Structure 1
Amino acid sequence: MRRISRLTRVAVGVASLALAATACGGTSSDSGSKGDSGDTKKDLGLAIAYDIGGKGDQSFNDAAYAGLQQAEKEFGYKTADIEPTDGETDADKEQRLTSLAKQGYNPVIGVGFAYTAALEAVAEKYPDTTFGIVDSVVEGENVASLVFAEEEASYLAGVAAAKATETKTVGFVGGVDIPLIHKFRAGFEQGVKDTDPKVKVISQFLTQTAEEGGFSSPDKGKAAAEGQIEKKADVVYQAAGLSGQGVVEAAAKAKVWAIGVDSDQYQQEALAGYKDFILTSATKEVGGSVYALAKSVEDGKPRTGTQVFDLKVDGVGLSESNPKMAEIEGLTDAVAKAKEGIVDGSIKVKSE
């Protein structure tokens, strides 16, 4: 129930603050729910196409699926969620999105920046279908770009890491060396240094491109974390999708702290064996954004334009599921103070 209430709160936050209108000039549309053939869609609802790693990553994609489940339960319509394939091209993604739009799903959401080119092509062909893309900006009158202030959540993770470390060394493992993951690193490093300038941050990216497996290789994540732990890191934060499971495993085996990402990984069943060593997670409400877009379409007022989910609307945050957080002196208060500063603007978080 906690997860569902959070998704609903994010949707309410988007509506009440009119984020689409205030963030990057986005707009809301009153367009109907029709396909390019003019046939009214009455039976089919939300469809999502997963990013690399697919469902079961305990992170980014699973968060999107939680939003789909909430929409399916609340609106009582048929949904669809489609897995990626290994080595697929933009043409494959375009075909997947086209198929969903043709079948009458609305909205259709590409989960991840990898869908940028495909969605640009497909959205133009189906002007009366609402499309969404997570973690990228695509221009289009029928497109909602769902982006997050990952640097803000990562800043809070950095504050927590600086308070938790005993060796004065912490680590960051990013899946792929791209601007999106740079935001995670930048916020984390700033949060650490603002809290304790004496703490050293070891940062590493697993691969240069997603095709090399940076987001889908737990073995790579494990090896990177082990290397950082050998260098005395006793807190390791990962932003690496499925690869992050390897980071968590390495931290647990070494009995040091891991910080999860995207979802509250302390609560993830697949990571239950390591949960005692998952200090917290820098969350981003991918599920909330997916649900919010589905709700706007269901209400007949589909949101479009760039929509930013930040701390102000609980679009990002830091989980508090592990009771051990409260046992670390000063951690809870420091995180609360940092969040207040970010929200009121007194703390400016870097994104690069």
Structure 2
Amino acid sequence: MTLDDIQPLDTGRMYDLIRQFPDQLRDGRSRAQDVPLPAALDDLDHIVVAGMGGSAIGGDLVRTLVQPTAPVPMTVVRDYTLPAYVGPGTLLVASSFSGNTEETLTVLDEAARRRARILCVTSGGQMLEIARNEGYPVVQIPGGMPPRAALGYSFAAVMTLAERLGLAPADAAAWDEAMALLEAQTAACADPAGNEALDLARTLHGKLPVVYSGPGLMEAVNLRWRGQFQENSKVYATGNLFPEMNHNEIMGWQYPGAVHALLAVVVLRDRGDHPRIRRRLDVTGRLLGDRAASWTEVESRGTAPLARLLSLVNLGDWVSFYLALLQAVDPTPIPLIDALKEAMQA
């Protein structure tokens, strides 16, 4: 594969957007450094990130990173309504790339009625207008790209806010490690002549991806891989988390048939996985590996959790991009989502 092969299919320049991931992280972090916080941590009993799709996944990734250190819980809401516990002691981070996501705008209005503290992350639209009218602090990020391709901005903004609140330590060395790792990985995966992302995409081509991982740090990475296969590659993808998979889904592999011959399993592994999770992944691979079309394990890279998480997020984006090209589809357009939005507005 060459760049000349990529350009006719990649009309939305997803290749360039994925290459910009390290730069997005730097810019998103910078944009969130000086935004006023609506409350101190001592005044809060809960942090809620409200968003959908590409605007929500950044919150999920941050949630898994801060979980071991955060003194108050952090949750992500993908809905039109808020849980009953949201009130004056809640910080709501409303994340909408376009600023026009109807679910998030509905939740924003409800949070205001409940007197929650509010901060917005958006590129514009109605959310930016509301924030300016109501005096909500805003991390304004650049527009002009698909929300899923702006993850570097949304993740870095929310993670920086979490550090400033005290949900996790602000670790400059961890950020430096992550950026150096991502720069090297991006340079390698951007070479269409051959790289590990393209190799994995070839393994998945013509199959249905099944993404397995442990919980904790890999939970949201698992979700990101599936979402990118669905939106970029236009393939149906599913997955599950261990150990839960071992308590039910494993029995769906008992009698291999025509469906199983289409399933290409990708196991996301991390050095921080609980020893019993690692054992379960090993044993399950031995039991099921020959029942699937393929069984591939991918290990996170780096030392600190931040680098390990982002290494697999970025790799998954590249795999989904190359899988789209192998299927001769443009990774950027999302016609069924566009059609659904039009129908909902009718």
What is the TM-score normalised by the length of structure 1?
Answer: 0.37
Higher helix share goes to which structure? 2
Higher strand share: 1
Which has the bigger relative contact order, CA under 8 A and spacing at least 6? Answer: 1
